[in-house]
Amino acid sequence: MPALLFDLDGTMLETDPLHAAVFVELFAEHGREIDEAFYIGHLHGRQNADIFGEFFPAADASAMADLKEARFRERLGRSAEPMPGLLALLDRAEAEAWPVAVVSNAPTQNAHAMLAAIGLSDRIGTIVLGDDCPRGKPDPFPYAEAMRRLGVDPASAVAFEDSRAGLASASAAGAHAVGLTSSLAPEALRAAGARLVIRDFSDPALETALFNHP
């Protein structure tokens, strides 16, 4: 029986264009020009404290992070499309009594806004967020904590991720890491630790992720 561990941003729903747009805007306001390629290469999947501490060491990182996330939630709105195939997979997990968790570096407000936007606020009981963890992704702690809460062994855990940091975290925690190509090319996902790459949750290769991994 697989245990399903889901990243949120870029995995359960497509959010990278929103994050990229806000980062481009914020960096420009502080005199730095970046583009979406820079976002994918240098910011994607990282925690705000690390990002703002690195690129704006003299600024108030906490205030910048709060502003960035408020702008993200404004762009997100109240409704969003879940990743193709996600709801069907969750229906299957519920019918088969598979353990499910969300594991995300997202701030708490963002995570709950995203889950609400795709209609999953009350559907997933185990949620491990960056605000809850002493160390976020790429450290293995978030995934190890999710498995501890679910009471599952890493050998049964399948982690769905779209970022380098997330794949590193899931792999280091012992989960079978599956990369989604919502942001990165298949080669980049594999280099980051993905044992299998899928387009989204409607990809036929999903069966391999669920039942045929080592």
9 plus 20 within the same structural domain: no
- Where among 60, 76, 92 does a domain terminate? 76
Please report which confidence band the pLDDT of residue 127 belongs to, taking 50, 70 and 90 as the band edges.
very high
CATH of the domain at 97: 3.40.50.1000
195 plus 100 within the same structural domain: yes
85 plus 69 within the same structural domain: no
Token pair recorded at residue 37 = 């390629």
159 plus 93 within the same structural domain: yes
105 plus 163 within the same structural domain: yes
The confidence score (pLDDT) of residue 67 equals 96
Give residue 172's domain range.
3-14+81-211
Percent of the residues in the chain that have a pLDDT greater than 70, as a whole number: 99
The confidence score (pLDDT) of residue 191 equals 97
CATH of the domain at 45: 1.10.150
Q: Of the candidates 147, 145, 148, which has an alpha carbon nearest to the alpha carbon of residue 131? A: 145
Q: In what order do the strands lie in the sheet with 157-161?
A: 126-129, 100-104, 3-6, 157-161, 176-180, 196-198
Specify the DSSP class assigned to residue 57. T
87 plus 54 within the same structural domain: no
Residues in the chain: 214
148 plus 47 within the same structural domain: no
- Is the pLDDT score of 99 beyond 70? yes
Least confident of 64-73, 96-105, 142-151, 204-213: 204-213
pLDDT tens string 11-30:
999 999 999 999 999 999 99
Number of domains in the chain: 2
31 plus 133 within the same structural domain: no
Please report which confidence band the pLDDT of residue 176 belongs to, taking 50, 70 and 90 as the band edges.
very high
The confidence score (pLDDT) of residue 211 equals 80
Please report which confidence band the pLDDT of residue 214 belongs to, taking 50, 70 and 90 as the band edges.
low
Token pair recorded at residue 9 = 């941003």
Provide the mean pLDDT of the chain.
94
99 plus 176 within the same structural domain: yes
What is the CA angle 70-75-76, rounded to 5?
95
Q: What is the mean pLDDT of residues 73-94?
A: 96
The confidence score (pLDDT) of residue 212 equals 72
Q: What is the mean pLDDT of residues 148-175?
A: 97
Distance CA(127)–CA(93), nearest Å, equals 16
Please report which confidence band the pLDDT of residue 82 belongs to, taking 50, 70 and 90 as the band edges.
very high
- Is the pLDDT score of 201 beyond 70? yes
159 plus 146 within the same structural domain: yes
- Is the pLDDT score of 159 beyond 90? yes
Specify the DSSP class assigned to residue 163. S
Residue entry with tokens 């704006």 = 56
Distance CA(139)–CA(119), nearest Å, equals 29
111 plus 161 within the same structural domain: yes
Q: What is the mean pLDDT of residues 58-85?
A: 94
Q: Which residues of 119-147 are buried (b: 16+ CB within 10 A; e: fewer)?
A: ebeeebebbbbbeebeebbbbbbbbbbbb
96 plus 118 within the same structural domain: yes
Token pair recorded at residue 44 = 């994607």
Q: What is the mean pLDDT of residues 50-63?
A: 93
CB pairs under 8 A, 24+ apart, for 72-79?
72/15, 72/18, 72/19, 72/22, 72/110, 73/109, 73/110, 73/113, 75/18, 75/21, 75/22, 76/15, 76/18, 76/113, 76/114, 76/117, 77/117, 78/116, 78/117, 79/117
